[in-house]
Amino acid sequence: MPATPAVPDGKRPTLADVAARAGVSTALASIVMRGTKGAGAATRERVLEAAREIGYRPDARARLLRSHRSQLLGVQFGLQHPFHSDLLESIYAAAEPAGYQIALSAVAAGRGEQRAVETLLADRCEALILLGPQVPAARLAELAGQLPVVSVARRLRPSIPGLEVVRTADDEGARQAVDHLVALGHRDIAHIDGGRAPGAADRRRGYRTAMNRHGLSEHIRVLAGGLTEEDGAAAARGLSEARPRPTAVLAFNDRCATGVLDIFLRSGVAVPGDISVVGFDDSHLARLAHIDLTTVGQDISRLAGLAVSRAVARLEGDKDPAGEHVIAPRLVVRGTTASPH
């Protein structure tokens, strides 16, 4: 119960204050606070007691300045991506047991990725985990030359030395969705794509090759979409007037699919009666009882876990050729898909 503001003068209590109060050297106090061995049981207790009494809190910055290891993983994320929020949740959970702290840096309106990374570097992070980075590959290569970098959810073609890529097999996910729809009896399956969003190209390709493999080449139809409900809605408006109307739609992601569902609902197109809809991500949205969307799930906790463990492995001297870690997606069948007719 440190009701009083610690040390007499207004300043924050320091390790020296603790040491003085316990009657030991600051070096020993440091040993005790870190929990390393080298201190007697009695003294240890005395120091901890003193620290508690004056409300001592170690200064992270001084600590990191001195010790060469900072045990910090810098994570860059986008404020407007719920998917990133979910990843962060799991990243925190994975970093903790590995003994690492997380430093966050958001990409926001007036704050690009360049700025976000700058601050992480200035904070002396040991490794960088970038969620869906958009910076040019050259910049990533430059960064990877300085410290371990993990790119999550963005594919990168020529494997850059020192750069780890963790992503979902997006093409495989699209394939699973198409297979599922074909198995239900669908032939006329359209895809609303994600434009230039990370993963969009792979999903598009996965859709195309799966359609070809099923001999449905002439039914291939890719509509310009995007990653918001709005984008899905726009595409769906065009679709509900199209003749022949496809009997199934694979949307770029769940938000996009939700927009599609909404437009169909309003224009009297029954789902899954008249048309089936599949999303991508298995977000909270898809799980909602009243949306109940069939979707391709990304294994978020595995993505996050792998991102953290790769970064840590790198830091602890792993010299592996480093490369790409692709995680299999898993189709989650819910209520928006059924046999046509």
Partner DNA sequence: AGATGATGCTAGAACGTTCTAGTCCATCCC
Partner DNA sequence: GGGATGGACTAGAACGTTCTAGCATCATCT
**Rounded distance, CA 54 to CA 12, Å?**
9
**What's the distance, CA 142 to chain centroid?**
22
Q: Which option in a copy of itself, DNA, none does residue 109 bind, with CB closer than 5 to 8 A by kind?
A: a copy of itself
Applying CB under 8 A, does 229 fall inside the site for a copy of itself? yes
168 phi, psi to nearest 5 deg: -90, 150
- Comparing CB distances to DNA, the nearer of 30 and 253 is 30
> Which stretches does DSSP call E strand in the chain?
72-78, 101-107, 127-131, 149-152, 163-168, 189-192, 221-223, 248-251, 276-281, 294-297, 324-327, 330-332
- Comparing CB distances to DNA, the nearer of 33 and 261 is 33
- Comparing CB distances to a copy of itself, the nearer of 230 and 318 is 230
Are 331 and 117 contacting, i.e. CB atoms less than 8 angstroms apart?
no
Residues 289-308 that bind a copy of itself (CB under 8 A): 289-291
- Binding part of the chain for a copy of itself, among 129-137, 157-165, 222-230, 327-335 by CB under 8 A, reads 222-230
Binding residue (CB under 8 A) for a copy of itself from 45, 49, 96, 318: 96
Applying CB under 8 A, does 82 fall inside the site for a copy of itself? yes
Question: Residue 294's closest CA among 174, 177, 214, 169?
Answer: 177
- Comparing CB distances to DNA, the nearer of 71 and 209 is 71
Contact residues for DNA, defined by CB under 7 A: 11-12, 14-16, 23-28, 30-31, 33-34, 37-44, 56, 58-59, 62-63, 65-69
- Comparing CB distances to DNA, the nearer of 33 and 285 is 33
- Comparing CB distances to a copy of itself, the nearer of 40 and 145 is 145
Quick one: which H or E segment has residue 90?
helix 82-98
C-alpha distances in Å from residue 318, one per residue of 166, 247, 308, 315, 324: 17, 50, 14, 7, 15
Residue type, 218: E
Smallest distance, a copy of itself to C-beta of residue 31, A: 19
Applying CB under 8 A, does 201 fall inside the site for a copy of itself? no
Binding residue (CB under 8 A) for a copy of itself from 26, 43, 71, 101: 101
Binding residue (CB under 8 A) for a copy of itself from 48, 106, 184, 315: 106
**Rounded distance, CA 57 to CA 78, Å?**
31
